Amino acid sequence: MYVLGILLNAGALVYAVMDDSPLFAVTFGVIMLYLGLRYRMVSSS
C-alpha cells in the first residue's frame, strides 16, 4: 500500500510541477517523504 501511495503522489507531484503549482508540489513532496519513512519503519520491524 505504501508503494502505491508513493507512486500516486509521484504522479501528482509531476503534474503539480508541470501545472506551475509550487504549493501542491511541496505538499506532495512532503507526503512522499512521510510515506517513504513509514514504509522504511514498517519494513524494518
Half-sphere exposure of 7 (CA within 13 A, CB side): 4
Q: Note the pLDDT tens digit of each residue in 6-37.
A: 999 999 999 999 999 999 999 999 999 999 99
User: pTM to 2 decimals?
Assistant: 0.82
Give the whole-angstrom CA distance, residue 32 versus residue 14: 12
Model confidence at 41, pLDDT cuts 50, 70, 90, reads very high
pLDDT of residue 34: 94
Give the whole-angstrom CA distance, residue 26 versus residue 29: 5
Residue 38 has pLDDT above 90, yes or no: yes
What does the domain layout of the chain look like in residue ranges? 2-44
Model confidence at 2, pLDDT cuts 50, 70, 90, reads confident
